[in-house]
Amino acid sequence: MSGGAVVRQGQDPTLPFWRAAVILRILTLLFALGVVYYHRTFYERPWLAFVMGGVMIVWTVVVSIRYWRPVGGNLLAFTVVDLVVCCAVMTSSRWVLTFTQLKVQATPLVPTIWVTGAVAVGALHAGAVAGAAFGAVVAAFNYGVRGYFDVDLTRDMILLVGIGFALGLAASSLRQARRSQERLAEALRVEAATAERERLARSIHDGVLQVLARVRRRGAELGGEAAELAKLAGQQEVALRALVSSAPAASEEGMADLGARLKVLETDRVSVSAPATAVLVPAETATELTAAVREALINVERHAGAEARAWVLLEDLGSEIVVSVRDDGVGIAPERVAEAEREGRMGIAKSLRGRVAALGGTVNLETAPGEGVEWELRVTR
């Protein structure tokens, strides 16, 4: 916006409307005071009219301070109190105006159009339905104080209800437009961050990780001090893979591409297959499944044999996600998993089965000595 209030990121986009409502309240106050002064000699109780004028002045100052920055506190309750005060000032007209002024001359009530400010703020805060309701309440008091129905009062009622509804609808639409704009900006930011992360991950995978893997293998072949260096290189390789595969930026809705996370785990001994399109799952699910797959691949590294290879397959079945981790290693005797848990080695029990179970999924193991190992992780969307 130019030439007026600027709405910053995270600020209520209806703030200029609130400022306009404050200005409206001040202008209508001046008009109401002018009307009271003009009719002062014709009122039945002029002193009460001046008292109500003082009440309007004080209350206008209070609401102007509160609505100029409409943040914090229970604003809905305050707008309701505002409506009550306006209706009370309207009701005082029954004792201020004479019978003739009320019933015959249709002399303006004490607050005149000052009460429309309550309708405006109700609509701005609570939306179209609340705005229409605030307008209907003011119109009902207008009928009640006058004590009769006619075309003019009905016209006022339609204007109050219609303006409350329209202003509330405009405020709600403006807030929705701002939320949509912020979601779009966030989505673009996440897309750019994810693309950059994947670019860096590919660069690391094609360079540093392959070098570390080669150092690890060659050092293990040479033995001696080279084997110790190979062990350190292997540890750094695992740590780096964990780093580049951990929690890439998620969308505003908390979704992440599981396929992109699993792809980073690919090495010369591990092949990863995933759908060409993004497999979006909740970010927590992506993190836990990636960690479970990493645990399975660590077991391949430690127990499947020096030449064993592994394959990771990601399947998106719509209602559920299936991740399979298979290797061609030496396999596991059926009783070895239970023995490992009894011996306190909880990698499979906690890091693999526990993670998937926490997501409400299931883990199936198929293995036999000399037949390799296949883990199947299933998680319902």
Amino acid sitting at position 30: L
Mean pLDDT, residues 38-49 taken together: 93
- Residue 207 pLDDT > 80, yes or no? no
CATH of domain 251-381: 3.30.565.10
- Residue 198 pLDDT > 90, yes or no? no
Residues 276-296 pLDDT 10s: 888 889 888 988 999 899 888
Q: What is the pLDDT of residue 371?
A: 83
Mean pLDDT, residues 53-74 taken together: 90
Q: What is the pLDDT of residue 235?
A: 67
- Residue 251 pLDDT > 70, yes or no? no
- Residue 45 pLDDT > 60, yes or no? yes
Number of residues written out for the chain? 381
**Token digits for 86?**
């306006």
- Residue 162 pLDDT > 50, yes or no? yes
Mean pLDDT, residues 307-314 taken together: 91
Give span(s): CATH 3.30.565.10, the chain. Answer: 251-381
**What value does the CA radius of gyration of the chain take, rounded to a whole number of Å?**
36
Residues 2-11 pLDDT 10s: 344 444 445 6
Residues 345-378 pLDDT 10s: 545 656 688 889 889 999 988 888 888 889 999 9
Residues 84-134 pLDDT 10s: 999 999 999 999 999 899 888 888 999 999 999 999 999 999 889 999 999
Q: What is the pLDDT of residue 44?
A: 92
271/265 Cα distance (integer angstroms): 8
Q: What is the pLDDT of residue 335?
A: 67
Q: What is the pLDDT of residue 365?
A: 86
Class of residue 147 by CB neighbours under 10 A (exposed 0-12, middle 13-18, buried 19+):
exposed
pLDDT band at 339, cuts 50/70/90?
low
Q: What are phi and psi of 14, to 5 degrees?
A: -90, 5
Q: What is the pLDDT of residue 381?
A: 79
Q: Between 149 and 332, where is the model more confident?
A: 149
pLDDT band at 204, cuts 50/70/90?
low
Q: Between 305 and 336, where is the model more confident?
A: 305
Q: What is the pLDDT of residue 327?
A: 92
Residues 228-245 pLDDT 10s: 777 777 667 666 665 665
Q: What is the pLDDT of residue 273?
A: 92
Q: What is the pLDDT of residue 217?
A: 74
